Amino acid sequence: MLLVFLQCAWRPGGAFKSRDYWLTALWKSHTGKRLKEMLPDNIPVWVDNATPEVGDNPDAVFPPDPVHMAKVIDTVQPRVILACGEVAQKGLDLLEVPYIPSPHPAYRALPKTRTAEIKSRVEEAYEETTV
């Protein structure tokens, strides 16, 4: 399993409705579309956030929650972790967990050459962890 950490979810009003609702909205969003460019087709993926807090606008940012992140890692048991953005990376650094760093997919200046490079790094790392 590939685990992807983003920084935080947002929703008008700042309330989390459900994981299914969030994932549907994520994959339709700019972030989700760019994230898909980074993900190999043949690898199962779990996407989560570096904090369970939910912002009330797309610019909302919270500090990482290492306890939350550790619980996700323990539950998902990933072979590879992709950390999208500084918030996710800081949280994993606090946990001293290895990861592949990436700009956040919502970063507007992220070129397709970079998303392709990240995809390649994820594929390589995943292959290296094959049992």
Tens of pLDDT, residue by residue, the chain (131 residues): 999 999 988 777 777 778 898 899 899 999 999 999 999 999 999 999 999 988 888 788 899 999 999 999 999 999 999 999 999 999 999 999 999 999 999 888 899 999 999 999 999 999 998 75
Q: Give CA torsion, residues 72, 73, 78, 80, to 10 deg.
A: 110
The residue assigned the tokens 């594929």 is 123
pLDDT of 131? 57
Separation of alpha carbons 131 and 28, rounded Å: 34
SS3 61: coil
Give me the domain span that covers residue 7.
2-128
CA neighbours closer than 13 Å in the CB half-sphere of residue 83:
22
Q: How crowded is residue 77: how many other Cβ atoms within 10 Å of its Cβ?
A: 9
Calculate ∠ Cα 80-108-3, nearest 5°. 15
Give CA torsion, residues 46, 86, 9, 5, to 10 deg: 10
How many domains, in total, are found in the chain? 1
Would you state the structure tokens that stand for residue 20, as one six-digit string? 């299914």
Burial of 90: CB neighbours in 10 Å, binned 0-12, 13-18, 19+: middle
CATH number at residue 51: 3.40.50
